[in-house]
Amino acid sequence: MLFSSKEFILYFLPAVWISYIVISQFSGRRYAKIFIALASIVFYAWWKLEYLPILLISVVVNFFLSKYLLKNNYAYRKSILTAGIIFNLGLLGYFKYTYFIIDQLNIHTGTSFSFEPILLPLAISFFTFQQLAYLVDAYKNKVQPSVFFDYLLFVSFFPQLIAGPIVHHQEMMPQFEANNKQLPSWENLRQGVQIFIIGLFKKIVIADTLAIFADQGWAAPGQLTFFDAWGTTLCYTFQLYFDFSGYSDMAIGAALLFGIRLPLNFNSPYKALNIQDFWRRWHMTLSRWLRDYIYIPLGGSRVKEPKILLNLVITFLLGGIWHGAGWTFILWGLIHGLGTIIHRLWSRLKIPLPKWSAWLLTFVFIHFAWVFFRATSLEEAYHVAQAMIGINGVRIPQLYTEFINSILNYHLLGPDVPAWSGVIPSRVIFYLGFAAIIAFIPKNSGEITFEKPLRFPIIAALTSAAMILICILTSIDAEKSPFLYFNF
In the complex with another protein, which residue's Cβ is closer, 348 or 455?
Answer: 455
Residue 194 touching another protein (CB under 8 A): yes
Is the Cβ of residue 18 or residue 118 nearer to another protein in the bound state?
18
Which residue out of 323, 336, 343, 383 is catalytically annotated?
Answer: 323
Long-range contacts of 332-338 (CB under 8 A, 24+ apart): 332/369, 332/370, 332/372, 332/373, 335/368, 335/369, 335/372, 336/275, 336/279, 336/369, 337/312, 337/313, 338/313
Euclidean distance between CA atoms 23 and 222, whole angstroms? 57
Q: How far is the CB of 470 from another protein (least distance, A)?
A: 7
Nearest distance from C-beta of residue 152 to another protein, angstroms: 31
Nearer to another protein, 213 or 227 (CB): 213
Residue type at position 429:
I
Interface segment toward another protein; rule CB under 8 A; list 11-19, 61-69, 127-135, 475-483: 475-483
Return the number of the residue (331 or 471) whose C-beta is nearest another protein.
471
Minimum distance, C-beta of residue 204 to another protein, in the bound complex (Å): 10
What is the contact mask toward another protein in residues 443 to 472, using x (rule: CB under 8 A)? ----------xxx-xx-xxx-xxx-xxx-x
Least CB distance from residue 23 to another protein, whole Å? 21
Task: Name the helix (H) or strand (E) containing 260.
Answer: none
- How far apart, in whole angstroms, are the C-alpha atoms of residue 381 and residue 385? 6
Binding residue (CB under 8 A) for another protein from 144, 185, 301, 376:
185
The nearer residue to another protein, 150 or 249, going by C-beta atoms, is: 249
Q: What single DSSP character describes residue 221?
A: G
Choose between 189 and 296: whose C-beta lies nearer to another protein: 189
Least gap, CB of 434 to another protein (angstroms): 13
CB of 426 to another protein, least distance (A): 10
Length of the chain: 488
Q: Are 395 and 228 in contact (CB under 8 A)?
A: yes
Burial classification of residue 251, based on how many CB atoms lie within 10 Å of its CB (0-12 exposed, 13-18 middle, 19 or more buried)? buried
355 scored as a contact of another protein (CB under 8 A): no
Query: How far does the chain reach from its first CA to its final CA, in angstroms?
Result: 17
Q: Classify residue 119 by burial, with Cβ atoms within 10 Å: 0-12, 13-18, 19+.
A: exposed
Residues near 34 by beta carbon (within 8 Å), at least 6 away in sequence: 149
Alpha-carbon distance of 223 to 239, in angstroms, equals 21
Closest CA to 428 of 221, 245, 226, 217: 217
Asked if 336 is an active-site residue, the reply is: no
Residue 446 Cβ vs another protein, minimum distance, rounded to whole Å: 17
70/273 Cα distance (integer angstroms): 42
**CA 37 to CA 154: how far, in whole Å?**
8
* 477 lies in the binding site for another protein (CB under 8 A): yes
**186: contact with another protein by CB under 8 A:** yes
422 binds another protein (CB under 8 A): no
The reply to whether 21 sits near another protein by the rule CB under 8 A is: no
Residue 190 interacts with another protein (CB under 8 A)?
Answer: yes
In the chain, how many H helices and how many E strands? 22, 0
Site size for another protein (CB under 8 A): 28
Catalytic residues: 323
**Where do contacts with another protein occur on this chain (CB under 8 A)?**
185-187, 189-191, 193-194, 453-455, 457-458, 460-462, 464-466, 468-470, 472-474, 476-478
